[in-house]
Amino acid sequence: MGGAMRHHWLLLGACGWVLLILVFVTKFISFRAVDDYGERVGGQSWTVPAHKVVKALPVSSPEKTVPKWSQPDQPSALPTEADWQWVSDKRMELLSSVCDNSSLRNLTHVPISKFVLDRIFVCDKHKILFCQTPKVGNTQWKKVLMVLNGAFPTVEEIPENLVHDHEKNGLPRLSSLSPKDITHRLSTYFKFLIVRDPFERLISAFKDKFVKNPRFEPWYKHDIAPVIIRKYRKSHRDREGAASGLHFEDFVRYLGDAEGRQRLDRQFGDYIIHWVTYADLCAPCEIHYSVVGHHETLGQDAAHILKAAGIDQLVSYPAIPPGITRYNKTKVETYFSGISKRDIRRLYARYQGDFNLFGYPKPDFLLN
Q: Give the tens place of pLDDT for each residue, 72-88.
A: 333 334 567 788 999 99
The pLDDT value recorded for residue 70 is 32
Measured in whole angstroms, the distance separating CA 323 from the mean position of its chain's CA atoms is: 13
Q: What is the pLDDT of residue 284?
A: 98
Tell me the pTM. Answer: 0.78
H or E element, residue 128: strand 128-131
Higher per-residue pLDDT: 59 or 24 = 24
Q: What is the mean predicted confidence (pLDDT) over 26-50? A: 33
Mean pLDDT of 346-366: 97
Per domain, the residue ranges of the chain are 102-357
Q: Decide if 254 contacts 232 (C-beta within 8 A).
A: yes
Whether the predicted pLDDT of 165 surpasses 60:
yes
Residue 248 has pLDDT above 60, yes or no: yes
d(CA 242, CA 230): 8
> Tell me, what DSSP letter sits at residue 207?
I
Structure letter (DSSP) for residue 287: S
**Phi–psi pair at 136, nearest 5 degrees:** -135, 35
Q: Determine if residue 359 is left, alpha or beta; phi over 0 gives left, psi from -120 to 50 gives alpha, anything else beta.
A: left
Tell me which of 149-163, 309-323, 347-361 is least confident. Answer: 149-163
Nearest alpha-carbon partner for 110 in 269, 229, 287: 287
Res 147: pLDDT: 94
Q: What is the mean pLDDT of the chain?
A: 81
Q: Is the pLDDT of residue 124 over 60?
A: yes
pLDDT digits (tens, 9 = 90+) for 252-267: 999 999 988 999 999 9
Q: What is the mean pLDDT of residues 123-134?
A: 97
Name which residue leads in pLDDT, 365 or 10. 365
For residues 310-320, give the mean pLDDT.
Answer: 93
- Residue 115: partners with Cβ closer than 8 Å, 6 or more residues away: 270, 280
Report yes or no: 282 and 116 within 8 Å, Cβ to Cβ: yes
Query: Does the pLDDT of residue 3 top 80, yes or no?
Result: no
User: Could you tell me if 43 and 74 are in contact, meaning their C-beta atoms sit under 8 angstroms apart?
Assistant: no
Select the more confidently predicted residue: 53 or 307.
Answer: 307
What's the rounded mean pLDDT across residues 333-337? 97
CA distance 91 to 196: 13
